[in-house]
Amino acid sequence: MTGSVHQRTAPTTRLVAGVVLILIALLAFAASRLVSEGQRHAYDRGATPAPTYRVASGNVYQLSSAGGVEGLTKAGVLGTGVTLTCTASSTDGTAQPLTLESTKDDVRDLHVFATFRASATGSFHFACKGIGEVFVDDADDAAPDVSGILVVLAAVIGLIGVAAALSGGYELGGYRRAADAIDGNEARPTD
């Protein structure tokens, strides 16, 4: 017979590799929680917004809040008949009203409560009446979401680990059942 011979990974190796991958996934998830504590996004627990955010004229950005749309709606800041007022202050202290393109009052929007089109390029501090801290998580100078990347990585590694561990464990169990069956047959008296 010519050609390549496909060799399967030994079940013990798959089981051990699966367990190791699951442990790595758990470590990646734990690291994501630690990294999350130091990030400055509205969806990160205990985060505070950056003093200023860099935006470019003509681009659309999202305003978000740690309390989320649900909290802002309960506080009466968002909702039917409520006009949201926001400003953008430049680094020299000049404040200008922010023209909002849309306001979100659906709790499924989670943290994003409004969108706006930047009228100028530069670094600005954003504030809205009735909202203590305003984030612009998609600003040009916003930090990447390392915590989110680690969560996705942990999920993928964990899924591969579970599949490998289950595959190896299932095959090892089959070997054990086959060995027990052979031992059981040999122990029986023959007629």
Choose the most confident range, by mean pLDDT, from 8-12, 122-126, 184-188: 122-126
**Top-confidence residue, 8 or 156:** 156
pLDDT score, position 1? 46
One-letter amino acid for residue 92 of the chain? D
Distance of CA 55 to CAs 4, 117, 136, 139, Å? Answer: 57, 9, 9, 6
Give the percent of the chain with pLDDT over 70.
Answer: 86
| Beta strands per DSSP E along the chain | 53-55, 60-64, 86-90, 95-97, 100-103, 112-117, 122-128
pLDDT score, position 27? 96
**Top-confidence residue, 159 or 9:** 159
The CA-CA-CA angle for residues 43, 83, 40, to 5°, reads 20
pLDDT score, position 56? 94
The three-state secondary structure class of 120 is: coil
Reported as a single tens digit per residue, the pLDDT across 24-47 is 999 999 998 888 877 777 877 878
pTM assigned to the model: 0.66
Task: Work out the pLDDT band at 88, boundaries 50, 70, 90.
Answer: very high
